[in-house]
Amino acid sequence: MALAVTRPPEVAMPSPFRCSELCRAMRPSPIRELFKLTQRPGMISFAGGLPDPAIFPVQQFAACAEALASRGTVALQYGPTEGYGELVAVLQELMRGPLGRSPSAAEILVASGSQQVMDLAGRVLLDRGDIVVVEAPTYPGALHTFRNCGAGFATVPCDGDGMQVDLLPDILQQCRRTTGRLPKLIYTITNFSNPSGACLATARRQQLAEIAERWGIPVFEDDPYGELRHSGEPLPTIFSLTPWPGVLYASSFSKILAPGVRVAWVVGDATLVRAMAIAKQGVDLCTSMVSQVLVAEYCRRGHLLAHLEAIRAHYARKSALMATALRQHLPAGAASWHEPQGGFFFWLELAATDSRSLFHRAVENGVAFLPGDAFFPEPGETVVGSCDGSHFARLCFTFASGEEIDEGCRRLALSLAKS
């Protein structure tokens, strides 16, 4: 399968530059592009998946800068590609619960955001024309990164319990029939998925691990939201459910502390992690040591666990506010949704409205969200599965203030009523 180049390059290069094949296939992130429209004055934004800056631990984090006095020469120097030793030790401890054991240092790689983890995994696992299995809907940043590797997609539909794993064997067969090969990777967001807010049910996690092992296809378990559960019981990670080394687990400080630190990590088979570290040497040499020293100090002082308690309660309130506002304002039968038990998002299924046109009406009315089609691969790059996101809308409940959540849902209802 060739790269799915369905239109002229987005970036027309001036002479003497000539686009690479990758550049011709690239397209701007739909989220980042729509984001520009959401910056107008007075706009209430449910669009970006942003944490609430009001709850950033600014003072505590600033106090951690004291660590620069004692560790400044380390912080200001290049560091190991694998990650700053003190931070790796913090992660070994942090992962003991979710992964069921403390991973060895050789199984951990610190990265500049989990977006980079995806990029590194793509670099070491994917060749042009390979297929990645993704949930439909899924995180556009993952599509973007795997697309950059020349990959195509097979999609697995989701319901309120996440990926419908029982459909997976048939989808794998179809991939083999239509392309002559099996997918190289299965990408899944197991907790409070971006965008659907769904958690993959435990039985499905087990089943996914079994199918992946049986078919020999590695799993990328992307879990930046797992610690943000505000109701219900935590579910075991896929990583913890199988001794099979084919599961790569990634998480990030972006949603649990602050995205500005650009610090994330991946845990997996030591040989694969080593390959990713070698790939990272050619990308950024190392993740910012200043950031890693500050994050390690923040965790070493015991702030992270207290902060997690605070943000879970804070986001529980905001999620409840959005649930109430949606119930109160949206016209009856106009949309349906599952109330999330954590994470950042409500995922609305619209009864009779195209979400792109709703988006433009909503922006006129002063509220922004993300239309569903951003969360599906394009038909031209999908070898198995369907791609229609036109009746969905993602609403982020964490960023807007309480009053804005209510007013934003009222404006959304107004836009729906005009459809």
Contact 25, 147 (CB under 8 A): yes
Q: Which is nearer to ligand PLP, 223 or 406 (CB)?
A: 223
Rule CB under 6 A: which of 260-299 touch ligand PLP?
Answer: 264
**Of residues 38, 81, 92, 115, which one binds ligand PLP by CB under 6 A?**
115
Rounded Cα gap, residues 393 and 326, in angstroms: 13
Task: Name the minimum Å distance from CB 161 to ligand PLP.
Answer: 17
Q: Which is nearer to ligand PLP, 143 or 217 (CB)?
A: 143
Q: Catalogue the long-range contacts made by 330-335 (C-beta closer than 8 Å, 24 or more residues apart).
A: 330/409, 330/412, 330/413, 330/416, 331/413, 331/416, 331/417, 334/413, 334/416, 335/393, 335/416
Rounded Cα gap, residues 389 and 387, in angstroms: 6
Task: Name the minimum Å distance from CB 189 to ligand PLP.
Answer: 5
- How far apart, in Å, are the Cα atoms of 97 and each of 91, 234, 240, 273, 349? 11, 11, 9, 21, 35
Strand bridging mode 335-336 / 264-267: unpaired
Half-sphere exposure of 119 (CA within 13 A, CB side): 18
Rule CB under 6 A: which of 320-379 touch ligand PLP?
Answer: none
Q: Which is nearer to ligand PLP, 48 or 411 (CB)?
A: 48
User: Closest residue (Cβ) to ligand PLP?
Assistant: 113
Residue 98 touching ligand PLP (CB under 6 A) = no
Q: Residue 317 has which token pair?
A: 């309130």
**Of residues 38, 114, 191, 382, which one binds ligand PLP by CB under 6 A?**
114
Backbone angles phi, psi at 275, to 5 degrees: -65, -40
**Of residues 45, 191, 240, 252, which one binds ligand PLP by CB under 6 A?**
252
What are the DSSP calls for 11-47, one per residue? S-PPTT----HHHHH----HHHHHHHHTTSTT-EE--
Residue 113 touching ligand PLP (CB under 6 A) = yes
Residue 148 touching ligand PLP (CB under 6 A) = no
Rule CB under 6 A: which of 183-242 touch ligand PLP?
Answer: 189, 194, 222, 224
Q: Which is nearer to ligand PLP, 137 or 246 (CB)?
A: 137
Task: Name the minimum Å distance from CB 392 to ligand PLP.
Answer: 16
**Residue 111 CB contacts under 8 Å (≥ 6 apart), including other chains:** 117, 120, 263, 264, 265, 266, 280, 287
Task: Name the minimum Å distance from CB 230 to ligand PLP.
Answer: 17
Task: Name the minimum Å distance from CB 368 to ligand PLP.
Answer: 16
Q: Which is nearer to ligand PLP, 156 or 325 (CB)?
A: 156
Q: Which is nearer to ligand PLP, 144 or 391 (CB)?
A: 144
**Of residues 92, 254, 341, 365, which one binds ligand PLP by CB under 6 A?**
254
Radius of gyration of the chain (CA): 21
Task: Fill in the per-residue mask, 116 to 135: x = in contact with ligand PLP (CB under 6 A), - = not in contact.
Answer: --------------------
- Nearest CA to 87 out of 287, 283, 311 is that of 287
**Of residues 61, 139, 315, 347, which one binds ligand PLP by CB under 6 A?**
139
Kind and range of the H or E run holding 349? strand 345-350
- Nearest CA to 199 out of 160, 254, 166 is that of 160
Rounded Cα gap, residues 105 and 82, in angstroms: 9
Q: Which is nearer to ligand PLP, 18 or 36 (CB)?
A: 36
Q: Provide the binding-site residues for ligand PLP, judged by CB under 6 A.
A: 49, 113-115, 139, 141, 189, 194, 222, 224, 252, 254, 259, 264
